[in-house]
Structure 1
Amino acid sequence: MFREMRRKKQVLSLEECIEVLNRGTSGVLAVSGDDNYPYAVPLSYVYHNNKIIFHSAKTGHKLDAIARNEKVSFCVIDKDQVVPDEYTSYFRSVIAFGKARILEDEAEKRSTLALLAKRYAPDHEEIRRMQTIDKEFNIVTMIELTIEHMSGKEAIELFKAKHL
């Protein structure tokens, strides 16, 4: 169902893909948008237990698209160093495919929102994060992408540097 990568040496292991997701602070969610046009939107996220969790407003293009078609992809670029003298870039990225769902259960929504808050405000005391969650809880939607397939790739130069 999912294509294999042609350049096998450049494939990232599952562990390396997870490291990229844990290092990243933003990614691009791609959905099947209005009139089947692709819609890709950058967003903040947290990776947790083979899931990518993100938030949204209560209404909008992203939510409408997910309601129509739960199949989505999510891409994170970990490195993109342009090397003009070589007419290339030294890159590393991960793409995840899976199904997105809007979290309706209040406890599930609260726990995933806490994960996201801790990810982006790790130095804040838990009480402060919980107060913010309580304040924003009714105006935010939480979405969970369950990963069905994930692949990562890096520039051959980065692969060679790792294996010297």
Structure 2
Amino acid sequence: MFREMRRKKQILSIEKIIEILNRRTSGVLATSGDDNYPYAVPLSYAYCNNKIIFHCAKTGHKIDAINRNERVSFCVIDKDTIVPEEYTTYFKSVIAFGRARILKDENEKRKSLEILARKYSPNYREGYLKEIEDTLLNVCVVEIEIEHLSGKEAIELVNS
């Protein structure tokens, strides 16, 4: 169902992929947007238990696209170093494919928001718990159940 990567030497291990997903703070969500135009939007996220979690407004382009088609992809760039004298870029990136689900259950939403808050504000537990309670009913939380993960790095990084 998912394509195999052609350049096998450049494939990142699942351990490195998960390390990148846990370390980075932003990625690009790609959906099937209006009139079948692709819609890609940067957002903050958290990775936990083979899922990508993010929060957003309850309405808008992103939510409309997910409601139309739950299949999405999510890309995270870990490294992007331009090497002009070699006419190349040293890169590392991860792409996740999966199905997005808008969380309706308050307990699920709360747990997911806590995962996000621990990633971005780990030293402010009391504050983020209050913020979650204050905003829980007005925020949308989306969970992407990952079906396929791939990661790739520049051949120069493999050889170093």
TM-score category, normalised to shorter length? over 0.9
Measured against aligned partners, the alpha-carbon deviations of 1:23-74 in whole angstroms (never above 9, x if no partner) come to: 1100000000001100000000000000000001010000000000000000
The aligned residue for residue 20 of structure 1 is 20
SS in 2 for 1:153: strand
Q: TM-score, normalised by structure 2?
A: 0.98
Q: Percent identity over the alignment?
A: 68
CA distance in structure 1 between the aligned counterparts of 2:14 and 2:28, rounded to whole angstroms? 20
How many residue pairs get aligned? The number is: 160
Measured against aligned partners, the alpha-carbon deviations of 1:97-124 in whole angstroms (never above 9, x if no partner) come to: 0000000001000000011011111121
Q: Where does 1:14-53 land on structure 2 (aligned, <5 Å)?
A: 14-53=14-53
Measured against aligned partners, the alpha-carbon deviations of 1:75-116 in whole angstroms (never above 9, x if no partner) come to: 000000000000101000000000000000010000000110
CA distance in structure 1 between the aligned counterparts of 2:158 and 2:142, rounded to whole angstroms? 34
**What is the CA-CA distance between 1:137 and the residue it aligns to?**
1.3
**What is the CA-CA distance between 1:132 and the residue it aligns to?**
1.0
SS in 2 for 1:98: strand
The aligned residue for residue 148 of structure 1 is 147
CA distance in structure 2 between the aligned counterparts of 1:152 and 1:72, rounded to whole angstroms? 17
**What is the CA-CA distance between 1:10 and the residue it aligns to?**
0.3
Q: Where does 1:7-156 land on structure 2 (aligned, <5 Å)?
A: 7-124=7-124, 126-156=125-155
**What is the CA-CA distance between 1:128 and the residue it aligns to?**
1.4
Q: Give ranges in structure 2 of 5+ residues lacking alignment.
A: none
RMSD over aligned CA atoms reads: 0.6
> Aligned partner of 1:6: which letter?
R
CA distance in structure 2 between the aligned counterparts of 1:160 and 1:23, rounded to whole angstroms? 23
Q: TM-score, normalised by structure 1?
A: 0.96
**What is the CA-CA distance between 1:19 and the residue it aligns to?**
0.7
